[in-house]
Chain A
Amino acid sequence: MTQLSVKDAIKAFLHLHIRGVQVRDADDIFVMGLVSSLFAMQLVEFTETRFGIEIGPDDLLLDNFRSVNALSALVGRKTSAEGA
């Protein structure tokens, strides 16, 4: 899956949760107040099941989740690491 399609998939998922708000790739979704405590775990679950990766305690950094770009980069790193 290309980085572009990873970002598209993440944005499509975000839009299901935050209807009516346009999120750009670099927007900080935490600063924008778009991530509730309920949604935080759903975002993890989505990322794991959609991209076939495992997110563990070492990945729990805000910098991995704060934007579409950040999440896409995490997926990219995990995919290449787990596929290596």
Chain B
Amino acid sequence: MNLALTDPQAQARAEFAAFAAEHVAPLADAIDREERVPRSLIARLARAGYLASGLPSELGGGNADPVIHGLMHEVLGAASASVQGLVNVHHMAASSLIRWGTAAQKLRWLPRFASGELLAAFALTEPDVGSDGQVATRAVRAGDHDRLTGTKRWITGGALADVFVVFARGGDGPAAFIVPAETPGLTRTPIPGLLGCRGYMLASLQLDDCRIPVEDRIGAEGFGLSHVLATGLDHGRHNLAWSCVGQAQACLDASLRYADQRTQFGAPIASFQLIQRLLTQMIVGVHGARLLCWRAAQARSDRLPNALYETLIAKYHASTMLNDVADHALQIHGANGCGSDYPIQRYLRDARIMEIIEGSTQMLEIMIARLGATELVAPPAPRATGARTR
């Protein structure tokens, strides 16, 4: 067992950090305030290979190592949870296509996803459909097309994306479709005023008899949720777990700096034991969640049967840890943390979103408990000889 980044991983992390410090972090407050990520930043991310991360190298992708891909999301999350979120949904849409697209679909779409020519998003949620995924949007076959009608809501990147992976219910069950934003009948309405991650550029999508060629359906009808959606959500949870670690690290770094500089009762508040307790809880929380992310990424790299389970655990722990850490950061910063001179209030608002998306905390608790009860994820321990009593 060697719990450390390899040299290439550490080097990649340093490069991500340098990029984010120069190009992303300086914009984070403005992105939050103006509720939009500049298209120029998306273009810069694309040129630097961020949109291509995790995509097949033969189609223009990079960062095949899930650890390096995760490190990228960690660094982006630390710089701006909003920017990370837009990149995340792009990667979620791409992952569904990578896993379940035909060779022709991959060839047609993925190079354009990788280059950033097309920014993708993931359209599942509807006004009355959340965790249960039982989409009401209908897909009606008409010759060599499917006609999609319905409403999507809370779609991250919805106001900005060029193409969506849309989930709809067809005659033989749920299915996923590649839907360009300019498809006739598709209109989008931005949703402003979000609590946190205000640069997510959320939108409602209205699909009114949108004609989608059959060749743009991903996988077979009936498998849209169990396989195509499941793949995207699994990747999204992995990316978000890392992002939460990054966001928590940002809270911790800010708090360590502040506690050193802020003087009360004639001493830096870092010298007070109750502040030290808060800082210790933050440090240990970040440390533990980061290790869970490493473990999940390694399981994915090794294609272990427990990779999905490890990813659920990482996302669950990292997102709940983050909310504790952000809360501590605000407590340490006091009134300054509530004001606009410090990013703490943004961190706290962004953190709250992390427990809702890509599986709410409560949904993850159901899934982790169910999977944890199977021997699939935890091979039984060697049986002790002799009867056990309790």
Contacts and interface: CB of A to CB of B under 8 A. Distances in A.
Interface in A37-54: 37-38, 40-42, 44-46, 48-49
A38 B370 CA distance: 10
Contacts of B225: 37
Contacts of A18: 374
Nearest to A61: B220
Interface in B204-221: 218-220
Given A38-B370, A57-B102, A16 B376 contact: yes
B220 A37 contact: no
Best-buried of B100, B225, B376 by chain A (most CB within 10 Å): B376
A45 B227 contact: no
B170 interface: no
A5 interface: no
Size category of the binding interface on chain B: 20 to 34
A46 B227 contact: no
Contacts of B303: 45, 48-49
A77 interface: no
B219 A60 contact: yes
Size category of the binding interface on chain A: 20 to 34
B52 to A, nearest CB: 22
Contacts of A16: 374-376
User: Interface majority SS on A: helix, strand, loop or mixed?
Assistant: helix
B230 interface: yes
Given A49-B303, A49-B305, A42 B376 contact: yes
Contacts of A46: 305
A24 interface: no
Interface string B214-254: 00001110110111001100100000000000000000000
Contact of A44 (B218, B222, B227, B374): B227
B230 A40 contact: yes
B230 A60 contact: no
A45 B102 CA distance: 18
Given A42-B305, A45-B305, A49-B305, A62 B222 contact: yes
Contacts of A44: 227
Given A19-B375, A57-B219, A38 B230 contact: yes
Given A16-B374, A61-B220, A42 B227 contact: no
Interface of B: 100-102, 133, 218-220, 222-223, 225-227, 230-231, 234, 303, 305, 307-308, 367, 370-371, 373-376
20 contacts: A15-B375, A17-B374, A19-B374, A37-B133, A37-B226, A37-B230, A38-B367, A40-B230, A41-B227, A41-B230, A42-B376, A44-B227, A46-B305, A49-B303, A49-B305, A57-B218, A57-B219, A60-B223, A61-B220, A62-B222
Q: Which 9 A-B pairs have the closest CB atoms?
A: A16-B376, A40-B226, A60-B220, A16-B375, A60-B223, A41-B230, A37-B226, A17-B376, A57-B219
